[in-house]
């Protein structure tokens, strides 16, 4: 296992930003009403937020980060900006650098992107806490999210009703006398075909047919530029690896599962998450969900769930949290950390 622990990091605040536009599973007319009902029951997705065509993931992350910067008046103090996403503004330059400028941050600021999906928040926390632990850098912004709906199309029932858009910002500071954070991070590239956008980059560059829709099977028509999702293989992967990764982290860190207050899992689909929860023998009260109202929001789903479901408890209590992200790659990992008096806020994207 790739286990590591980091010291001296503290989560100060989390803000999550979602688009205002809501799409309901019940209105997804590409499939029958019966199939919609079964989809909602199995995945747990009742509705999700979809960004307008001209809104990027970075706009959502910008709004979330701006809220925190204004709230904590800390623009001058940010030493690191990391943007974790698979829907960047451009192939180059890195979106984090654009956000450094757009947020009015100083030039003495480390900025880089991490190209990961559903595991991205956990990976991002491991990277930023490593950079902060020595104390040479004091504050960092972890900006995480995706505009997944740019890669899906209405005529593909395997992806279109599943994904929602979000952008999140987590303000993290160097802070002594905090408990160590523990991570178990894993990868398996043999699962690449389970979730993939094959075309439009170096391996299979842009061509004129990128936009052409083709029927793959009944109910699934998509173009080369769109996301391919093999639900069964992803499901198999998550059942096999999710709980095992978490249990290994407890063993290695010598922490006790019983001492964890909340288990915040990537919001993949309800059936997967419930299977992981039951394998771990955790009470449902300890596993918050946001998939019902936001869908699968990729790397943004863990901080979004914290903002949506845990505002009061994060603000008022000292908590031990287990976070677990798993998906595209395959890439997966879990983090065990303590939080205290974390400010959280869920906002809707406002173009103005």
Partner 1 sequence: MINIEEFTKGLEVEFEDVEPGTLNPDTNFRNIKGWSSMHALIIIAYIDANYNALLNGADLKSAQTIGDLYKITEEKLK
Helix, strand, or coil here: 311?
A: helix
Please give the backbone phi and psi of residue 287, each rounded to the nearest 5 degrees, phi first. -120, 90
Place of tokens 């979730």: 195
Place of tokens 């995706």: 146
| Residue 235 contacts partner 1 per CB under 8 A | yes
| Residue 275 contacts partner 1 per CB under 8 A | yes
Nearest 5°: the CA angle 130, 6, 240 is 100
Tokens of 264: 């915040």
| Residue 240 contacts partner 1 per CB under 8 A | yes
Looking at residue 286, the DSSP 8-state letter turns out to be G
Whole-number Å distance between alpha carbons of 146 and 120? 10
CB nearer partner 1, residue 132 or residue 234: 234
CB nearer partner 1, residue 253 or residue 275: 275
Query: Count of residues binding partner 1 (CB under 8 A)?
Result: 21
Compose the 43-82 pattern: x for residues touching partner 1 by CB under 8 A, - for all others.
x---------------------------------------
* Strands laid side by side in the 78-84 sheet: 110-114, 78-84, 139-146, 166-174, 9-18, 343-348
Q: How many Cα atoms within 13 Å fall on the side-chain side of residue 83?
A: 30
CB nearer partner 1, residue 230 or residue 320: 230
Helix (H) or strand (E) holding 264: strand 262-265
| Residue 278 contacts partner 1 per CB under 8 A | yes
Place of tokens 């959280």: 344
Identified binder of partner 1 from the candidate list 106, 236, 284, 348, rule CB under 8 A: 236
Identified binder of partner 1 from the candidate list 187, 221, 230, 341, rule CB under 8 A: 230
Tokens of 81: 């900006």
Among residue numbers 150 through 209, which ones bind partner 1 (CB under 8 A)? Answer: 158
CB nearer partner 1, residue 34 or residue 312: 34
- Name the segment binding partner 1 (CB under 8 A); options: 85-93, 120-128, 169-177, 228-236: 228-236
CB nearer partner 1, residue 23 or residue 156: 156
Whole-number Å distance between alpha carbons of 240 and 245? 9
CB nearer partner 1, residue 5 or residue 275: 275
Cβ at position 204, least distance to partner 1 in Å: 23
Interface positions with partner 1 (CB under 8 A): 31-32, 34-35, 38-39, 42-43, 158, 230-233, 235-236, 239-240, 269, 271, 275, 278
């Amino acid at each position: 296992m790739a286990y590591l622990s980091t010291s001296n990091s503290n989560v100060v605040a989390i803000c999550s930003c979602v688009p205002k536009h809501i799409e309901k599973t019940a209105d997804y007319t590409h499939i029958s009403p019966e199939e919609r009902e079964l989809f909602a029951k199995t995945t747990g997705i009742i509705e999700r937020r979809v960004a307008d065509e001209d809104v990027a993931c970075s706009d959502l992350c910008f709004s979330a980060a701006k809220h925190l910067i204004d709230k904590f008046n800390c623009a001058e103090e940010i030493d690191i900006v990391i943007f974790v996403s698979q829907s960047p503004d451009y192939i180059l330059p890195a979106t984090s650098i654009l956000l450094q400028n757009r947020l009015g941050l100083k030039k003495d600021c480390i900025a880089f992107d991490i190209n990961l999906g559903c595991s991205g928040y956990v990976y991002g926390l491991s990277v930023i806490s490593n950079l902060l632990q020595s104390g040479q850098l004091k504050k960092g912004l972890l900006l995480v999210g995706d505009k997944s709906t740019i890669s899906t199309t209405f005529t593909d029932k395997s992806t279109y009703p599943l994904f929602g858009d979000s952008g999140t910002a987590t303000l993290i500071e160097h802070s002594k006398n905090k408990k160590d954070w523990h991570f178990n991070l894993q990868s398996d590239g043999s699962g690449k075909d389970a979730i993939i956008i094959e075309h439009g980059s170096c391996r299979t560059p842009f061509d004129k047919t990128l936009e052409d829709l083709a029927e793959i099977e009944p109910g699934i028509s998509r173009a080369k530029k769109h996301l391919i999702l093999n639900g069964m293989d992803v499901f198999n992967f998550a059942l096999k690896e999710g709980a095992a990764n978490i249990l290994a982290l407890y063993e290695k860190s010598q922490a006790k599962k019983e001492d964890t207050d909340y288990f915040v899992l990537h919001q993949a689909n309800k059936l997967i998450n419930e299977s992981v929860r039951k394998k771990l023998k955790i009470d449902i009260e300890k596993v918050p969900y946001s998939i019902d109202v936001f869908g699968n929001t990729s790397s943004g789903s863990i901080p979004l769930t914290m903002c949506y479901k845990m505002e009061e408890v994060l603000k008022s209590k000292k908590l031990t949290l287990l976070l677990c992200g798993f998906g595209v790659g395959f890439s997966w990992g879990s983090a065990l950390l303590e939080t205290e008096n974390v400010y959280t806020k869920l906002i809707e994207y406002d173009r103005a």
